């Protein structure tokens, strides 16, 4: 089967035979050909393996944001609780995989922005470590 795949602004023509993919041609995405008969397949996004963090607005607090969209399966800590770097704070389920959101540093849990059962989008604040 022959597919056209768009990846990072480039269009690739990919032929799949017996479970192996072979790139047949590369095209400029700005000049796509008019007649495309083959269906287009979108590449799957890579899932981060560790929690992404962003600094809070002021002070030494760190707001930990959701690295991907998903559902909150568990909140493992309470506000005011002391945590060490690497401690599991939240379990986020995304694409049927449980991802542990860990403390980026030693500190104390500040505000918790989510609760069990909540649905979050990428970048949504989850918890704050002071």
For 28-44, how does the pLDDT look when each residue is reduced to its tens digit (9 = 90+)? 555 555 444 455 555 55
The mean per-residue pLDDT over the stretch 49-78 comes to 72
Question: Which pLDDT band, with edges at 50, 70 and 90, does 55 fall under?
Answer: very low
**Which residues neighbour 61 within 8 Å (Cβ) at sequence distance 6 or greater?**
110, 128, 129, 130
Residue ranges of domains in the chain, CATH in brackets: 1-44 (no CATH), 53-129 (2.40.50.100)
The mean per-residue pLDDT over the stretch 116-128 comes to 93
pLDDT score of 118: 93
Least Cα distance to 13 among 31, 34, 40 occurs for: 40
Question: Computed over its alpha carbons, how large is the radius of gyration of the chain?
Answer: 21
Q: How much is the pTM?
A: 0.53
Of 10-14, 50-54, 57-61, give the range with the top mean pLDDT: 10-14
The mean per-residue pLDDT over the stretch 66-79 comes to 94
**Which residues neighbour 49 within 8 Å (Cβ) at sequence distance 6 or greater?**
none
Q: Across all residues in the chain, what is the average pLDDT?
A: 76
């Amino acid at each position: 089967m022959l597919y056209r795949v768009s990846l990072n602004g480039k269009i690739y023509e990919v032929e799949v035979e017996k479970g192996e993919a072979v790139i047949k041609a590369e095209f400029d995405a700005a000049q796509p050909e008019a007649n495309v008969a083959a269906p287009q397949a979108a590449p799957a996004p890579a899932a981060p393996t560790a929690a992404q963090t962003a600094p809070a607005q002021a002070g030494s607090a760190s707001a930990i944001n959701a690295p991907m969209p998903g559902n909150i399966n568990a909140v493992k800590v309470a506000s005011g609780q002391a945590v060490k770097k690497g401690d599991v704070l939240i379990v986020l389920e995304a694409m049927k995989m449980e991802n542990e959101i860990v403390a980026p540093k030693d500190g104390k849990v500040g505000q918790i922005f989510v609760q069990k059962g909540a649905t979050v989008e990428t970048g949504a604040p989850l918890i704050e470590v002071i």
